Amino acid sequence: MRCQSYGPLTSTAHFAGLSGIAIAAALVCGCSGSNHPAPTNGSSEETGTFGSASESGKLNIVTTTAMVNDIVTAVAGDRAIVTGLIKGTQDPHMFTTGRNDVNDMLSADAIFYTGLMLEGRMADDFALVGRKGKPVFPVTEGLDREKLREPPEFEGHWDPHVWMNVELWSECVGQISRELGAMDSGAASDYQARADEYRQRLTELDSYIRKVIATIPKEQCYLVTAHDAFGYFAQAYGVEVKAIQGISTDSQAAISDINSLVDFIVENKVPAIFVESSVSQKNIEAVIEGCESRGWTLKIGAELYSDAMGDPGKYEGTYIGMMDHNATKIARALGGEAPEKGWQGKLSDKTEH
């Protein structure tokens, strides 16, 4: 038996889009507290990046996560200078801005972010720049809410990890094309052409993921991860996800949660657990030790990219490379069949654990 695809999950909850000045009103409704959190290790105090873009005649675009940055860059092409605020393995759930980050947003022509409260600690900043008249676009705004997940532990809010479903994330590419075309109407057809070309590549990537995940034997088709970032992946590609932490890395894993997961892994003889590039391995190690105490050897299948992509300049540092890596590593670690170098033969030499 092989992994089977699950149908889309539906939700009856209502959603209020957060774009531009509308964010300020949403904050009053309780989407964010009035006290902005103090900067953490996720904050950025780097020197501002803007200053010459206006002279170049190109749009200045600021983005939040690397995933948003990658698809905005693909659609914008040479019509814009696109700069991401959240760097490397910084956690978007925990990210807070520094002074220069805010200055960059105030200097930009537009800001694109994920939405669905992924960048929840930046809500006050989005409201500020919106009040200054800057366009602020959540790329998930146009998605059909019936396609979004609303996990019980995240009641009242949607799961923001939409990029884990390539087909759904592709719809966000179309949203970006429409927003850029409205801002720069003379080049609207160029944005549309780039978006169409990129979305075709995503369609091919989606097909690859479905193919390799379907080769995993059904009895081993369990994806155990550090936090619940792979719900859309499970929904789209037919794996069952078990996570130590909830949707947000802000949550804490209780000892009972770890023990319950150990029981599940041992009972179902799950062969591998996966670490995430943007999440601490402490809880993963506790689960492995718990399994060992029960006589079951649990290996680390691979490091997956969840809330951050790979290193800039590398294939895994693109959205396509990130998802190719994840699908390939998951399939191979759980007993499925996938080429070692992935869909396009471009994966790095970093092997499975």
Q: For residue 310, tell me if it sits in a domain.
A: yes
Token pair 């003889």: residue: 269
Q: Are residues 95 and 234 in the same domain?
A: no
Q: Are residues 293 and 167 in the same domain?
A: no
Q: For residue 338, tell me if it sits in a domain.
A: no
Please, which pLDDT band fits residue 152 given cuts at 50, 70 and 90? confident
Q: For residue 17, tell me if it sits in a domain.
A: no
For residue 260, the enclosing domain spans 210-333
- The most confident of 150-154, 157-161, 210-214, 260-264, by mean pLDDT: 210-214
pLDDT of 329: 96
Burial readout 47-80 (b: 16 or more C-beta within 10 A, e: otherwise): eebbeebeeeebbbbbbbbbbbbbbbbbbbbebb
Q: Are residues 110 and 169 in the same domain?
A: yes
Q: Are residues 136 and 165 in contact, defined by beta-carbon separation less than 8 angstroms?
A: no
pLDDT exceeds cutoff 50 at 20:
no
Q: Are residues 189 and 265 in the same domain?
A: no
Write the DSSP string, 284-296. HHHHHHHHHHTT-
Q: Are residues 259 and 290 in contact, defined by beta-carbon separation less than 8 angstroms?
A: yes
Q: Taking the model in full, what pTM does it have? A: 0.80
Cα 175–Cα 179–Cα 182 angle in degrees, nearest 5:
140
Q: How many domains does the chain have?
A: 2
Q: Are residues 158 and 220 in the same domain?
A: no
Q: For residue 349, tell me if it sits in a domain.
A: no
Q: For residue 14, tell me if it sits in a domain.
A: no
Q: Are residues 76 and 147 in the same domain?
A: yes
Q: For residue 2, tell me if it sits in a domain.
A: no
pLDDT of 282: 80
Token pair 């809410």: residue: 145
pLDDT of 236: 97
Q: Are residues 222 and 202 in the same domain?
A: no
pLDDT of 257: 83
Q: How far apart are the first and last CA of the chain?
A: 26
Q: Are residues 97 and 85 in contact, defined by beta-carbon separation less than 8 angstroms?
A: yes
d(CA 259, CA 223): 17
pLDDT of 251: 53
Which pair of structure tokens corresponds to residue 29?
């409704």
Q: Are residues 79 and 141 in the same domain?
A: yes
Q: Are residues 155 and 238 in the same domain?
A: no
pLDDT of 16: 31
Domain final position from 183, 208, 233: 208
Mean pLDDT of 294-317: 93
Q: Are residues 116 and 260 in the same domain?
A: no
Written in H, E and C, the secondary structure of 92-121 is: CCCCCCCHHHHHHHHHCCEEEECCCCCCHH
Write the DSSP string, 45-98. -PPP--SSHHHHT-EEEEESSHHHHHHHHHHHGGGEEEEESS-TT--TTT----
pLDDT exceeds cutoff 50 at 28:
no
Query: Is the four-CA dihedral 303, 306, 311, 315 of positive or negative sign?
Result: positive
- Domain of residue 231, CATH code: 3.40.50.1980
pLDDT of 208: 98
The number of C-alpha atoms within 13 Å of 312 and in the hemisphere containing its C-beta is 10
Q: Are residues 260 and 160 in the same domain?
A: no
Q: For residue 322, tell me if it sits in a domain.
A: yes
pLDDT exceeds cutoff 90 at 225:
no
Q: Are residues 216 and 311 in the same domain?
A: yes
Q: For residue 343, tell me if it sits in a domain.
A: no
d(CA 139, CA 152): 24
d(CA 47, CA 213): 43
Q: What is the CA radius of gyration of the chain?
A: 20
Q: Which residues contact 272 (CB under 8 A, 6 or more apart)?
A: 224, 298, 299, 300, 301, 302, 333, 334
